[in-house]
Amino acid sequence: MTRALVLDFGGVISKTLFETHDLSEAALGLAPGTLSWRGPFDPANDAPWRAMQAGEMTERDYWALRMRETGALVSEMWTEFPQFVGRLRGADPASVIRPEALDAIAQAKAAGHRLAILSNELDLFYGKDFRSKLPFLADFDLIIDATYTGVLKPDPRAFAFVTDGLGLPAADCVFVDDQAKNLRGAHAVGMPHVHFDVTRPTDSYARALTLLSQGA
């Protein structure tokens, strides 16, 4: 039976900025260890991250804060997320794609399943031209980006864009996201889901592929 693997992008397909501080510091000419915010890798020492997890600030607000702070370190004022990400990651986004993601995508495709991305800020965060630098995105049947729809996860309407676009019931899709709050939307529409642990990507993808193979 054909089913669908539905992935968030940032954190699930791409390594988080928390994991690539060494690359960011080198790109910005900063001393190693300058960027100390670690989000889920060290929540005790990242108060804004804890506030975001508690619903006291949005994910976009969290990254806007980090963008302002990081820009100030190099005396630059960035007003858009692609400026921030572009300076930290340069022109080669493929270098920070999770190998575990590429392997899971290949396995799902080989098994005859469909592929979709459901993101709250794909182009908003990375810029409109980055997709051309990631050839594997051609394997996806559907990309839903709230940059354009204006409907953010966990709103159930965001998940309806996926089921309508794929022509599949929610029960035949497996959704993967690293933000636990976004899974509430999947639960609301009856979509099986996996909370992606960015500290254990291999295990998270294994759980998703198992759900995908089991069926509803």
CATH classification of the domain holding 159: 3.40.50.1000
Same domain, 112 and 210: yes
Across the range 42-68, mean pLDDT stands at: 95
- Return the DSSP state at 31: P
| Same domain as 202, residue 116 | yes
In this structure, are 105 and 77 located in the same domain?
no
Q: For the chain, what is the domain count?
A: 2
Query: Do 109 and 200 lie in a common domain?
Result: yes
Residues 72 and 103 in one domain: no
Is 81's pLDDT higher than 80? Answer: yes
Q: Are residues 164 and 178 in the same domain?
A: yes
Cα separation, 134 vs 34, in Å, equals 29
Asked if residue 173 and residue 107 are part of one domain, the reply reads yes
Choosing from 55, 71, 93, the residue where a domain stops is 93
Both structure tokens of 43 = 């929540």
Residues 8 and 107 in one domain: yes
Q: Are 196 and 177 in contact (CB under 8 A)?
A: yes
Same domain membership, residue 163 and residue 118: yes
Distance CA(88)–CA(158), nearest Å, equals 29
Q: Has residue 216 got a pLDDT over 60?
A: no
Specify the residue for token string 């642990």. Answer: 197
pLDDT at 90 over 90: no
- Domain ends where: 93, 114, 132? 93
Q: Using the CB atoms, write b or e for 15-49: b if 16+ within 10 Å.
A: bbbbbbbebbbeebeeeeeebebbbbeeeeebebb
Same domain, 51 and 155: no
Domain boundary, last residue among 76, 93, 110: 93
User: Cα separation of 96 and 137, whole Å?
Assistant: 14
Terminal Cα-to-Cα distance of the chain (whole angstroms): 10
- Is residue 183 scored above 60 in pLDDT? yes
How far is it, in rounded angstroms, from Cα 17 to Cα 198? Answer: 11
Same domain, 114 and 34: no
Supply the pLDDT for residue 197. Answer: 97
Helix ranges (H only) for 11-46 are 21-28
Domain housing 168:
4-15+94-214
CA distances from 99 to 42, 136, 144, 167 (A): 23, 12, 22, 29
Quick: pLDDT tens for 116-139.
999 998 988 888 888 888 999 999
Confidence of residue 28 (pLDDT cuts 50, 70, 90): very high
Q: Tell me, yes or no, whether 24 and 100 share the same domain.
A: no
